[in-house]
Structure 1
Amino acid sequence: MAQRRGGLGRGLDALIQGPASSNGIQEIDIDSIGPNPRQPRQRIDEQGLAELADSIRVHGVIQPVVVARSSGEVPYQLVAGERRWRAARLAGLRTIPAIVRDASPRDTLELALIENIQRADLTPIEEAQAYHELIEEFELTQAEIAQRVGKSRAAVANTLRLLQAPAPVQEALSAGQITEGHARALLGLSQAADQLAALAIVIQQGLTVRQTEELVRRWQRAPSRRPPRRPPPGEVQRLEEDLQRALGTRVELRPGRHGGRLVIHYFSEEELDALYRRLVGDQSDV
């Protein structure tokens, strides 16, 4: 996975026009700071947070957090540094070094998203959701986002495309079971059910991105004899999806007037062997 380039893009200094406090870094009561409502990171590494708290108890907070004045319940709102702020609270600190910026509420929310995209160790899905929020709520274009976070427009577009993946694919990506490259390859399959069946194969066999791309190409070449523009009834489609998840491969149900056919696809000898063992079981003792 590509590393973050936190020092690139326009960043806080260019985006917040208001000056910092005349005192620069100042110690602020830790309870007078509220969390960032637009924190893109959805998962907190509790062990990592505890380790950071231990370090802060010994060395203090080395890098100040960035806050903006707030008219809410607390005087300040975090713009960047939520992990440090949480760890400092866990360490029992009463104050924390902070840089205070003056910005409108709208600018503060936008900047909080951008700064966390630049600095935080986000999953690709969290990053894509943050980009989507910048587009929907702040009406930024992909090119404007790219300029702010220091990436190419194509990189932003590719990350946003991950939101088109079915929820199980997104969850596998967030959990580290697959990479961003795997997810993009799976998006080459037009049907969500096919993507989920291919996902099962990728995880079960530990396929690389290149192997996943080849799997998708073979999947796309597999013939389908369904009548064009006549999708199967809802119940048949549901059964197909259930079978594909259970078998980890592409499955087609072809209902007829009297019965029908069940077609199970496989794309390598290894997949055929795995299907045989799954359906028939181990016959070595027979």
Structure 2
Amino acid sequence: MASTRSTLEKFSSNLEESMGLREVDLSPKLSPVPLNRDAGRRPLRNVGRVDINQVIPDPEQPRAEFSDEAIERLADSIREKGQLSAIRVRWSEELSKWIIVAGERRWRATKRAGLPTIDCYFHEGEISKSEILEQQLIENLLREDLQPIEEAKAFSTLMTINNWNGKQLAEALRVPQAKVSRSLALLRLPDDIQEQVAAGVLAPRSAYELSKIGDDKVRRELAEQVTSDGLTRDEAASVVRQRKGKPKQQSRGTRQTFASAGGWKVIVTANRRGSYHEIEEALLDALEEVRLRIANGIQIL
């Protein structure tokens, strides 16, 4: 009986409301002036939390190697402090999963930390393969997470997709063009030498010097010499120059000329490269010497 009465009262209330009658005003009470902490804040519809099992890595992610030790350290941090920044994901209709655009390392650490959900920035709309790769590259470059050969292959792929040259790639990624050139040069090396670079046996800068030689047999011989003797990049460059029959480059010195309004010129030279800070120190030393000579009454002959 009580249930019937309750139902009738609810029905009556709904009927009156449908007729425009309401005993209680249910509209939210808004403060005419927002709290200071809320001023300027706006919610984002594409940021939220999702079941971590609904998120999967991108199989075409340029980064293939992840340090287990680094993942464990990050997992410990996430257990203690939580996830500090959201990963970026896109929806795949084909897989019915969210695919990681950027943040796979955080996803792996969050899974290892045992968290059931993960904070995400959800990309809405279509995103091209080039845009995905570019975002992944930028994140990895900023974090310095990519191995040298991974980076070189990602550069090459992005150039192919967009029909870019090295200069255009450098401008798009905001990196020096020389970095792109050195990186791509590693792909000209034989696979076994690339594997040495990827494994950290051969330093990428030394490998770049080896790429200047066209003969793969000579490259392998020099790679063996560099790794067995522990040669530095400069030493590797010297060995390459010798093999190519080029003399060692002489280091350029420094020569700077400063002209005054009265027609005087002050010339600063050194037999090595220097900086303007060093030139300033030299000029201050010279100025002190000039003032000392003036004080002692020394005349210019």
| Same structural fold, with TM-score higher than 0.5 when normalized by the shorter chain | yes
Q: 1:175 to 1:110 in 2, by over 3 A?
A: closer
Q: Matched residues in 1 for 2:167 and 2:242: separation?
A: 35
User: Structure 2 unaligned runs (5+)?
Assistant: 1-42, 247-301
User: Structure 1 unaligned runs (5+)?
Assistant: 1-20, 223-286
| Residue 172 (structure 1) shift | 1.7
Aligned residue for 2:31? none
Q: Matched residues in 2 for 1:111 and 1:79: separation?
A: 10
Aligned residue for 1:94? 116
Answer yes or no: is 1:179 the counterpart of 2:199.
no
AA of the residue aligned to 1:88: T
Match for residue 57 of structure 1 among 53, 73, 79: 79
Give the alignment of 1:37-56 within 5 angstroms.
37-56=59-78
Describe the superposition over 1:35-71 as per-residue Cα deviations: whole angstroms up to 9, x where unpaired: 1122111212112212211221111111110112221
Match for residue 136 of structure 1 among 142, 154, 160: 160
Q: Matched residues in 1 for 2:168 and 2:236: separation?
A: 32
Match for residue 66 of structure 1 among 55, 77, 88: 88
Aligned residue for 2:184? 160
Answer yes or no: is 1:110 the counterpart of 2:133.
yes
Aligned residue for 2:55? 33
AA of the residue aligned to 2:245: R
| Residue 165 (structure 1) shift | 0.8
Larger Rg: 2
Describe the superposition over 1:130-171 as per-residue Cα deviations: whole angstroms up to 9, x where unpaired: 011112234333233212221123321221111001122212
Answer yes or no: is 1:188 the counterpart of 2:212.
yes
Describe the superposition over 1:185-212 as per-residue Cα deviations: whole angstroms up to 9, x where unpaired: 1112221011111111111111111111
Paired residues of 1:125 and 1:173 also in contact (CA < 8 A) = yes
Number of residue pairs matched by the alignment: 202
Q: Percent same amino acid among aligned pairs?
A: 29
SS of equivalent residue, structure 2 residue 62: coil
Root-mean-square deviation (CA), in Å? Answer: 2.1
Aligned residue for 2:288? none
Q: Matched residues in 2 for 1:119 and 1:154: separation?
A: 17
Q: 1:139 to 1:71 in 2, by over 3 A?
A: farther
Give the alignment of 1:201-220 within 5 angstroms.
201-220=225-244
Q: Matched residues in 1 for 2:101 and 2:206: separation?
A: 33
Greater alpha carbon shift after TM alignment, 208-217 vs 116-125: 116-125
Greater alpha carbon shift after TM alignment, 87-96 vs 150-159: 150-159
Paired residues of 1:124 and 1:180 also in contact (CA < 8 A) = yes
Q: Matched residues in 2 for 1:35 and 1:92: separation?
A: 17
Paired residues of 1:25 and 1:97 also in contact (CA < 8 A) = yes
Aligned residue for 1:145? 169
Answer yes or no: is 1:79 the counterpart of 2:101.
yes
Greater RCO (Cα-Cα under 8 Å, separation 6 or more): 1
Give the alignment of 1:253-268 within 5 angstroms.
none
